[in-house]
Structure 1
Amino acid sequence: MKKKVFVFDLDDTLYKEIDFLKSAYREIADWLSASFHVSDAYDYMLSCYQRGENVFLNTNEKYNLQIELSEYLTRYRGHVPHISLLEEVRQVLYQLKIENDVLGIITDGREITQSNKIAALGLEEYIQRENCIISECFGYSKPALEAYLFFQNKYPDCIYYYIGDNVDKDFIAPNKLGWTTVCLLDNGMNIHKQRKVDVQKSPLYFISSLKELLVL
């Protein structure tokens, strides 16, 4: 029987990206409180985000601050997040690992940001670090083929799965390569909302919970 290779997206697939955003806002709010004696910044920033406004520009205006936007972004992207895996996600990863399947990640983003997420989630308990492909350090982002070909070249003659959530870019490359593509449906909390797309972008399967992956 052929070995199976399961490659996951990170944000809004293995955890909810909104949790990272809230963690970053909390850290920035604590910094504003300690450094500028600003109170209630967390609730204000979150309300700005929910209204689709420029969070950091509005924060400067509301609290009469002169903080460079680059300073906000550095703290947002570089903070060590307080995030965790849902128990059902842990169970799925554990089950795949004990079945001796290969596990990997392909994620777009900055090396420091995505690496901090992977560490905070404890994903290296299930996935080898060299199988965690981050676009900034790998040199290619979705929908390029190269990250998917990395797994095909490293683990030839296997059955390949890609599990993601972003229908605009996650499934184009693995569809071209003949992988089994699986989309985790948005439960209303995703940063990037899902929409109807053409066949090229559409996954083979839709699931509402990662536990359904074990059935597939």
Structure 2
Amino acid sequence: RRLKMEALGFVFDLDDTLYPERDYVRSCFRWIAPRIGGEGVFEELWRRFEAGERDPIGEVAVARGIREPRKAGLIAEMRAHAPDLALDDGAAALIAALRDAKRSFSIVTNGRSASQRAKIAALGLGDAAAIIISEEFGAEKPDAALFRAIEREHPAQRHLFVGDNPAIDFEGPNALGWMTARLVRGDSVRREAINPRDGMRAQRVIASLTELIPLI
């Protein structure tokens, strides 16, 4: 459907922007723990995750005697499970304000189609004007092509992209002349510190998405 031109098009990253990504990790662990089987599996998965291990599910599954192809099958099913998620308070308030004002919003996210679609459904965001998922699109942020696609599908005089990760979120929209805002979360799953180049920095840093409500 072709939308009417808006003055400002709101576009969001998904993970750690509209909800805490730790909640998705927790939901995945709760889904897969009983399928791995044995005592204390969830607790071990969570301990390994908190310690920064890259593949806690793979390590625990192998340690519990689960081999390929069963391990890969379980992980594929897990990615498609209906996760237990909710928008954080700031995101819920901003999305509600946009809907009340009959304004549209869109989503641009890196990730697998199955897991990102499951998250979007769980969060009740299926009414987004455009949803660009890297696996479906064939490119990932920071590629500006994803944001050009939003310009076609969600027309606006200007766009605002809201994300959390300077490594990938802002270089593309900055290059297209968009407004950009970085949400800084205390509970982000991203532990690495980076020193972004100028083009990678958001133009504005916020602590809550409610700070953007006056822009509607």
Q: How many angstroms apart in 1 are the aligned matches of 2:200 and 2:12?
A: 16
Q: For 2:118, what is the secondary structure of its paired residue?
A: helix
Q: Answer yes or no: is the 8 Å Cα contact 1:184–1:207 preserved in 2.
A: yes
Give the residue type in structure 2 aligned to 1:137.
E
Distance 2:118 2:43 in 1: 24
| TM-score, normalised with respect to structure 1 | 0.87
Q: 2:15 maps to what in 1?
A: 11
CA distance in 1, matches of 2:120, 2:29: 19
Number of the residue aligned with 1:58: 59
Q: Which moved more, 1:109-118 or 1:24-33?
A: 24-33
In structure 1, C-alpha distance between the alignment counterparts of 2:52 and 2:158, rounded to whole Å = 41
Separation in 2 of the partners of 1:58 and 1:155?
Answer: 42
Give, in whole Å, the separation in 2 of the partners of 1:165 and 1:113: 19
The 1:139/1:76 distance shift into structure 2, 3 A limit, reads: same
Unmatched tracts of structure 1, length 5 or more: none
Q: How does 1:59-98 map to 2 (within 5 A)?
A: 59-60=60-61, 62-63=63-64, 65-68=65-68, 69-98=71-100
1:154 is the counterpart of 2:158: no
Letter of the 2:51 counterpart: R
State which of 168, 192, 204 in structure 1 corresponds to 2:190. Answer: 192
Deviation per CA, 1:154-177, whole angstroms, max 9, x where unpaired? Answer: 344512100000100100010011
Aligned to 1:179: 178
d(CA) in 2 for partners of 1:177, 1:66 = 47
One-letter amino acid of the structure 2 residue matched with residue 58 of structure 1: E
1:45 and 1:84 map into 2 onto residues whose CA distance is: 22
Q: 1:159 to 1:101 in 2, by over 3 A?
A: farther
Q: In 2, are the aligned partners of 1:14 and 1:89 still within 8 Å (CA)?
A: yes
Q: Distance in 2 between matches of 1:81 and 1:154?
A: 28
- The residue type equivalent to 1:51 in the other structure is A
Count of residue pairs the alignment pairs up: 207
In structure 2, what is the equivalent of residue 207 of structure 1?
206
CA RMSD of aligned residues (A): 2.0
Q: Assess, with a 3 A threshold, how the Cα gap between structure 1 residues 76 and 4 changes in structure 2: closer, same or farther.
A: same
Q: 1:148: Cα distance to partner?
A: 1.0
Do the aligned partners of residues 61 and 15 (structure 1) sit closer, same or farther apart at CA in structure 2, a change above 3 Å counting?
same
CA gap 1:156/1:71 in 2 versus in 1, 3 angstroms: closer
Per-residue CA shift, 1:110-153, capped at 9, x if unaligned?
A: 111100000011112x524xx11111112221111122112222
Q: For residues 36-80 of structure 1, what are the alpha-carbon distances to aligned partners after superposition, in whole Å with 9 as ceiling and x for unaligned?
A: xx12100011111112234134314543x1333423432332222
Structure 1 contact 167–197 (Cα < 8 Å) conserved: yes
Letter in 2 for 1:8: F
The 3 A distance-change label for structure 1 pair 148 and 23 is same
The match for 1:49 is 49
Q: How far apart, CA to CA, are the structure 1 residues paired with 2:214 and 2:195?
A: 25
CA distance in 2, matches of 1:185, 1:66: 38
Amino acid at match of 2:150: F
The Cα shift of 1:99 comes to: 2.3
Q: Which has the higher contact order (CA 8 A, sep 6+)?
A: 2
CA distance in structure 2 between the partners assigned to 1:17 and 1:142 by the alignment = 18
